[in-house]
Amino acid sequence: MSGHPQQGAQYDEGYGHQPGNTESYYQDEHGGQQYYDNNAGYEQGHGGHQQQGGEGYYDESGYYNADANNPYQQEGGYYEGGDQHQGQYQDEYYNDQYYEQGGAAAGEAPQAKRRGDSEEDSETFSDFTMRSDMARATDMDYYGRGDERHDSYDESQMGGRGYRPPSSQVSYGGNRSSGASTPNYGMDYNNVLPAGQRSKEPYPAWTSDAQIPLSKEEIEDIFLDLTAKFGFQRDSMRNVYDHLMILLDSRASRMTPNQALLSLHADYIGGDNANYRKWYFAAHLDLDDAVGFANMKLSKGDRRTRKARKAAKKAAPDPENEAQTLEQMEGDNSLEAAEYRWKTRMNRMSQHDRVRQLALYLLCWGEANQVRFMPELLCFIFKCADDYLNSPACQNLVEPVEEFTYLNQVITPLYQYCRDQGYEVQDGKYVRRERDHNEIIGYDDCNLLFWYPEGIERIVMEDKSRLVDFSPAERYLKLKDVNWNKVFFKTYRETRSWFHMLVNFNRIWVIHISAFWFFTAKNSPTLLEKNYKQQENNQPPASAQWSAVALGGAIASLIMVIATICEWSYVPRRWAGAQHLTKKLLFLLAVFALNVAPSVYIFVIPNTQKTKIALILGIVQFFIALVTYFFFSIMPMGGLFGSYLTRNSRQYVASQTFTASYPRLTGNNMWMSYGLWITVFGAKLAESYVFLTLSFRDPIRYLASMEISYCAGDALFGDVLCKLQPKILLGIMFVTDLTLFFLDTFMWYIIMNTIYSVAGSFYLGVSIWTPWRNIFSRLPKRIYSKVLATTDMEIKYKPKVLISQIWNAIVISMYREHLLAIDHVQKLLYHQVPSEQEGKRTLRAPTFFVSQEDHSFKTEFFPSQSEAERRISFFAQSLSTPIPEPVPVDNMPTFTVMIPHYGEKILFSLREIIREDEPYSRVTMLEYLKQLHPHEWDCFVKDTKILADETSQFNGDYDKDEKNTAKSKIDDLPFYCIGFKSAAPEYTLRTRIWASLRAQTLYRTISGFMNYSRAIKLLYRVENPEVVQMFGGNSDKLERELERMARRKFKLCVSMQRYAKFKKEEMENTEFLLRAYPDLQIAYLDEEAPLAEGEEPRLYSALIDGHSEIMENGMRRPKFRIQLSGNPILGDGKSDNQNHAIIFYRGEYIQLIDANQDNYLEECLKIRSVLAEFEEMTTENVSPYTPGVSNPKVAPVAILGAREYIFSENIGVLGDIAAGKE
């Protein structure tokens, strides 16, 4: 539980600055702030409420007053040092000084004001009491007006010109204005301009000082031009413009602007890993651009397609030109030649054209709705739009195209087709059709049509003409006339059948059943001898034994034959990606005949078993069976005859690209994989032979020859069952043996996987034999080397000074969350102590780091088996593993955390936590949580009591005498019972939040992941002391700059689809979230009544945040409001919910989180190393578009998994099971 709202008008997590307050938790010299002092007695101080016409809790409109400059309101109160230290830090070991600023440079700090001096001076407020004058969004400069309200810089600093915001950041007006209100993000501290001017740049790394290829105004002109030519929505254009600019800003912060644009274009459009480029060659669109569909050699299509091809050939205007074109193509249509031509074209493209292509692709993507689930269809739409854009017809347009044209003519018909597969519209409402899944043409069926040119040529108009018969430049305008009902069909039949196990896992059956046959046939010679006698133990001829064992190859072939036949029932033959099964089946039948034929000669033809020819045939048949077994065990069924394993053919490029496209293992990973599977099957086959089949030899010998002649029989079956009992028993034993033969494979996989994992841990140096207690003694050094990026620091400070700020912030965050008591905090913090040099102070490290490996220490630093112990242990352990080196905060990529929300609880109400809602329950939720977290509840109660005492003292009715002392125990009962004694909102809300942070609530998730913002600000402030010095003691401006940096690098977006339909309680809880965390963004579905009765309502994707204006109806004014084709919730809900909100993400990476997870400050500090795992922190100097230069085949990292702590494991058996499954 981290990131809880904390009281106080300024950001104070033990590392922030507070204007006018010198009693912060621990402070540095440069704002008159003090470090935490162990001599101060660890007072837990809460100041009085800042009065705003009442309690200071709700404003006049009834909404919660949050501080826009401080979204991190915490549930715990302050505690502070009482004495103000003077002088500078002096580390007795390193003999270096802490960084100084303003008056602190002279070795002096202003004297701290005492609690209760005045209402205005006190900054130590009670929890959740906030000043409404600080809550207004105007202080944030969020809407791009150049920070006019806080502008203390003269225009002469800017060359007399002043800052001119781009026209996309002002209201509607002028011919080229887009009317955007793009937020003003970020800071760039690497430029030589003053900090005040740089703060006004919305995209700091993309400024004219950085030699950018295009200015943001020129990029905006491109967007405006594309919007006018294609009819994109104005709000979508503003949203996508901001999206692209943040992408460019993110990349340009760690590379040159030209490299940033080039690499971004390569990722989206032209690079080896770009999905558009993969699709372009998979669908043979390069051949279409060269000679057209009519002249391409395509595979056999259905009757309608063949007829259309003939008509297109007849309509060819110049047969001589056709022949000439084909002659030019001869020998030059290879994939290598096409890729060379592609790179040449990409390399010659200007940066302006690259931006235009990026803008067009993102604009198409931004309004694609459900088409985003069909990426290759989206690529086709973009290809048509790009061809049209480069045509004279488009360039000569004078009048702008009407808004919503792209949505209504291109996307909505596709959306309606997908929707109609599962729903029908009745009176404006969606009613699900009673249709089986194998009859519904889904997203995959639609998308797979565009993998192959044979699918694209199926696209027909209402007048039955084909889209591909038009020139590429004409196709975009024809999309509105496409009859999609005639285009799509099922590409895979999702029938429910046991045969799926045979088709999809054929090699598993081959490996096990054939091996079982080999082993069992070798140990069942008595079954081959007709006249077997136990006493003589007469053996069958050698040829019969060889041939019987060799029939295992025939079994492998038979399994493959049956699997191939079953595939016919699942994959329709008319899909171009369906492999040709006839050749494959004939080949398998031939292999099957080859394996069976010798056995026919040996066993069927009489008097041949004892001949020499039979023996030779049996031996040859056995080796043929071994080859067959190993071939079918290794070769996938799709790898037979002209499939995706045929690399020199262009026919199946789509299969090679989009299916089974796994990164190849190299080096140690490859050999470890080989070794794992060889040892698994080696151990399995050896153990199975000895303990399963060899031990089965004697039971087979006895039961096969056993005859029971004395049977009484029964009324139904007579004596048949009795006489066949040995044979029935033998059959049951065979089945049992085969079942165990399958099962022990999994057993050996677990054993070998464990062995290899232990070996790997030894290799990495993180095995259980590594001295466990060393992880704590080495933790400070690891924080310095693995959490902090100190290489590029302009001003160098001793490691202990930097480490102490990080460690103290972690400890303080746990105290704020009521995980640590005050005495534990005292033992865990770095402290200032007098130095040996007079007038100097130094830092003393906590004994915690050494006590963990010194058994003479008996001090308790945190409660045993507590949440604090778990978090600190995991943090220390994780830093002991190899992790990428962090980059400076200014160079880190921008990323977004996205949380889908439907009906999950946002914040518990008071009624829910103190009343018994369940009819059979006698325990309230609060009582239950108190039993689960007794120590945390005790810390919370103590904190609340101090808050209540200070409030009473501030209000003047606090008179502590002996009588009050005698009554204190009785008065404290309400605190220990329900957490508050007064029904004032600031007290009841604290209890609600304490409970919500220990259950599965959205508040828990948001408060946890907003720790990313706190972590970025902390890291930036610690690693860049020169930025602090720039502001000359103005901690208010410093805090705004830190927030700009955090806002520039991190976004949190909640996809809250039901927001517009929330009930009053849900709306109040959401409003509380927005006021506590103003940078929180919420994407929701906004609905408008239909234009005519019986029509569908109009739906919009809208985005708000805590800075959005509250309108007269109580709702917030959306920053972006983009119309959809219809209701986006067509599937299971969660993916659709994420899809409608994904257009509002920002940056290069998305972290997807469920609405019940948590995060902590110490884990957020590692975010730069986590993002470095994507291996995109550096870029190659060689252009990805250099013709003839092969790019290194490095598999890109697309998904990064992170472990999640399942906190329900301590609440009973069911919780343990659930946690174990996770």
* Shared-domain flag, residues 334 and 355: yes
| Residues 494-529: tens digit of each pLDDT | 888 888 888 889 999 999 999 999 999 998 888 877
378 within a domain of the structure (yes/no): yes
| Residues 575-624: tens digit of each pLDDT | 887 877 888 899 999 999 999 999 999 888 887 778 889 999 999 999 99
129 within a domain of the structure (yes/no): no
Higher pLDDT, 849 or 267: 267
| Residues 289-311: tens digit of each pLDDT | 776 766 666 655 555 555 555 55
User: Is 380 in contact with 448 (CB distance < 8 Å)?
Assistant: no
The rounded distance, in Å, linking the Cα atoms of 42 and 82 is 8
Range of the domain at 783: 774-891
Burial class (CB in 10 A: 0-12, 13-18, 19+), 645: middle
Q: What is the mean pLDDT of residues 773-780?
A: 83
* Shared-domain flag, residues 464 and 591: no
Label residue 313 by pLDDT band (50, 70, 90): low
| Residues 1063-1120: tens digit of each pLDDT | 999 999 999 999 999 999 999 999 998 888 778 889 999 999 999 999 998 899 999 9
* Shared-domain flag, residues 579 and 686: yes
Mean pLDDT of the chain: 77
Helix axes 375-389 and 275-282, enclosed angle (nearest 10): 90
401 within a domain of the structure (yes/no): yes
Higher pLDDT, 537 or 999: 999
By C-alpha distance, which of 1192, 1213, 1071, 1220 is closest to 271? 1192
The rounded distance, in Å, linking the Cα atoms of 629 and 634 is 9
Three-state DSSP at 842 gives: strand
* Shared-domain flag, residues 781 and 701: no
Point out the domain boundary residue: 891, 911, 944: 891
The rounded distance, in Å, linking the Cα atoms of 307 and 313 is 10
By C-alpha distance, which of 1107, 1083, 1084 is closest to 183? 1107
User: Is 254 in contact with 893 (CB distance < 8 Å)?
Assistant: yes
The rounded distance, in Å, linking the Cα atoms of 996 and 990 is 10
Calculate the alpha carbon distances from 390 to 264, 360, 784, 1181 in Å. Answer: 21, 12, 54, 30
The rounded distance, in Å, linking the Cα atoms of 967 and 440 is 73
How many folded domains does the chain comprise?
3
User: Is 488 in contact with 456 (CB distance < 8 Å)?
Assistant: no
- Phi/psi for 350 (5° steps) reads -75, 160
* Shared-domain flag, residues 461 and 505: no
205 within a domain of the structure (yes/no): no
CB atoms within 10 A of CB 957: 8
The rounded distance, in Å, linking the Cα atoms of 833 and 841 is 6
CA atoms within 13 A on the CB side of 621: 31
pLDDT at 639: 74
**pTM for this model (two decimals):** 0.79
The rounded distance, in Å, linking the Cα atoms of 1121 and 54 is 37
- The four Cα atoms 1019, 1025, 1026, 1028 give a dihedral, to 10 degrees, of 90
CA atoms within 13 A on the CB side of 61: 12
423, containing H or E segment:
strand 423-426
Q: What is the mean pLDDT of residues 405-430?
A: 91
CB atoms within 10 A of CB 1197: 11
User: Is 1071 in contact with 1154 (CB distance < 8 Å)?
Assistant: no
* Shared-domain flag, residues 595 and 682: yes
pLDDT over 60 at 1041, yes or no: yes
The rounded distance, in Å, linking the Cα atoms of 1201 and 1188 is 36
The rounded distance, in Å, linking the Cα atoms of 483 and 463 is 9
The rounded distance, in Å, linking the Cα atoms of 1015 and 783 is 14
Q: Which residues contact 1064 (CB under 8 A, 6 or more apart)?
A: none
| Residues 825-839: tens digit of each pLDDT | 998 999 888 887 777
* Shared-domain flag, residues 821 and 685: no
570 within a domain of the structure (yes/no): yes
Tokens of 1036: 């208010």
* Shared-domain flag, residues 524 and 413: no
The rounded distance, in Å, linking the Cα atoms of 82 and 463 is 85
CB atoms within 10 A of CB 396: 7
Residue with tokens 């700020």: 805
Percent of the chain with pLDDT over 70: 73
Higher pLDDT, 17 or 732: 732
pLDDT at 648: 63
Q: Which residues contact 662 (CB under 8 A, 6 or more apart)?
A: none
The rounded distance, in Å, linking the Cα atoms of 622 and 93 is 78
1122 within a domain of the structure (yes/no): no
The rounded distance, in Å, linking the Cα atoms of 997 and 987 is 16
pLDDT at 627: 95
- The four Cα atoms 573, 575, 577, 582 give a dihedral, to 10 degrees, of 10
Q: What angle do CA 748, 754, 760 make, to 5 degrees?
A: 135
1084, containing H or E segment:
strand 1081-1088
The count of residues in the chain is 1222
* Shared-domain flag, residues 575 and 686: yes
By C-alpha distance, which of 1056, 1063, 1079, 1067 is closest to 1114? 1067
Which is it for the CA torsion 35, 36, 41, 45, positive or negative?
A: positive
One-letter amino acid for residue 920 of the chain: Y
DSSP string of 363-421, one letter each residue? HHHHT-GGGGG-HHHHHHHHHHHHHHHTSHHHHT--SPPPTTHHIIIIIHHHHHHHHHH
Label residue 170 by pLDDT band (50, 70, 90): very low
The rounded distance, in Å, linking the Cα atoms of 1083 and 780 is 41
| Residues 854-876: tens digit of each pLDDT | 655 556 787 877 889 989 989 99
Q: What angle do CA 998, 999, 1001 make, to 5 degrees?
A: 120
88 within a domain of the structure (yes/no): no
Q: What is the mean pLDDT of residues 354-362?
A: 97
* Shared-domain flag, residues 479 and 550: no
Pairing of strands 1081-1088, 1050-1056: parallel
Q: Which residues contact 543 (CB under 8 A, 6 or more apart)?
A: 602, 608, 609, 610, 611, 614, 615, 617, 618
Q: What is the mean pLDDT of residues 776-801?
A: 87
The rounded distance, in Å, linking the Cα atoms of 110 and 103 is 8
* Shared-domain flag, residues 289 and 327: yes
Tokens of 522: 């070798």
Label residue 1218 by pLDDT band (50, 70, 90): low
Point out the domain boundary residue: 891, 922, 943: 891
DSSP summary character for residue 537: T
CB atoms within 10 A of CB 669: 11
Higher pLDDT, 7 or 537: 537
The rounded distance, in Å, linking the Cα atoms of 577 and 573 is 9
* Shared-domain flag, residues 557 and 482: no
By C-alpha distance, which of 985, 1001, 873, 983 is closest to 929? 1001
The rounded distance, in Å, linking the Cα atoms of 141 and 200 is 9
Three-state DSSP at 6 gives: strand
Higher pLDDT, 1072 or 791: 1072
278 within a domain of the structure (yes/no): yes
Label residue 131 by pLDDT band (50, 70, 90): very low
| Residues 44-79: tens digit of each pLDDT | 333 333 333 333 333 333 333 334 333 333 333 333
